[in-house]
Amino acid sequence: MSAKPWPEGTGCRILQEVDSTNAEAQRLAPTLSGPEWILAHRQTTGRGRRGRPWANPVGNFTATLVMQPGETPDKVALRSFVASLALFDAFVAATGRVALFALKWPNDVLLNGGKVAGILLESAGAGGTLSHFCIGIGVNLVAAPSRSDVDESAITPVDLQSETGARVTPEEFLDLLAPAFADWEAQFSTYGFAPIRQAWLNRAAKIGEVITARTGKESVVGTFETIDDTGALVLKTASGRRVISAAEVFF
């Protein structure tokens, strides 16, 4: 396991304990002049999507990258795919194994079919302009929530150490993740979403298979065809092609 150099111009702070790395990032954002990673060994009020609690046993990875992007909110949100690709690369660097990992729309990473990492995006701003953007990342490095702690239809949580034998500390994982993110961010900034989209599709789980997308108003069952140039999920259903911009996906 060898890490690339830390990305130039990107800050880093490591905390023993915090309420939530995303909350800390939002507090710090007005004082920062560039992107910064915030890693915490313990969170007291960590949360996932839709406000759900996010368990963070000691030894797992919880960090947030806070940025000050200059683009419109819809383009900024595409960095969830940048973060997914960076996570994929960090896992491969940590284990030397590619085939074990896959990306689940919109922003989870799977290991042997189980969920090993998730991403939470939060932003602040007004008038169509974002003052800052936070990418919160949680990784089950050494422990995973029990099956009873997640929705019965959700993918089973897994951890990196149990599934692969790789023992990686949070700091070591950040040293792999930060350069990987910087590399994909450079592609995104230079060439736009097209190469990010293709790279994500090359690593996507369940392409060509039937999945269920729950939007909050309905459940849509269809064949996972692709994602479009806005990052939306495209399904082929019995009633025609459906483009879904926000949902939770179940296999």
How many residues in total does the chain contain?
251
Closest by alpha carbon to 138, among 182, 101, 83, 197? 83
Let me know if residue 6 belongs to a domain: no
Domain count, the chain: 2
Query: 66: which strand partners?
Result: 36, 134
**pLDDT in the model for residue 70:** 80
Full-model pTM? 0.93
- What is the arithmetic mean of pLDDT over 70-99? 94
> Are 170 and 138 within one domain?
yes
46 burial type by CB count under 10 A (0-12 exposed, 13-18 middle, 19+ buried)? buried
For 51, list phi and psi in degrees, rounded to 5: 75, 10
- pLDDT band per the 50, 70, 90 thresholds, residue 128: low
Phi, psi of 207 (to 5 degrees): -60, 130
> Which percentage of the chain shows pLDDT scores above 90?
78
Same domain for 237 and 196: no
The CATH number of whichever domain residue 220 belongs to comes to 2.30.30
**Burial zone of 251 (CB within 10 Å; 0-12 exposed, 13-18 middle, 19+ buried):** middle
Contact in structure between 196 and 184 (CB atoms under 8 Å): yes
123 and 246 share one domain: no
Whether residue 170 is contained in a domain is answered as yes
CA distance 181 to 201: 17
> 239 with 192, same domain?
no
pLDDT digits (tens, 9 = 90+) for 135-159: 999 999 999 987 666 666 678 999 9
pLDDT in tens, 174-217: 999 999 999 999 999 999 999 999 999 999 999 999 999 999 88
Structural domain span for residue 63? 11-202
* pLDDT value of residue 69: 84
pLDDT given at position 221: 96
Structure-token pair, residue 203: 């690593």
6-22 mean pLDDT: 95
In 3-state terms, what secondary structure has residue 234?
strand
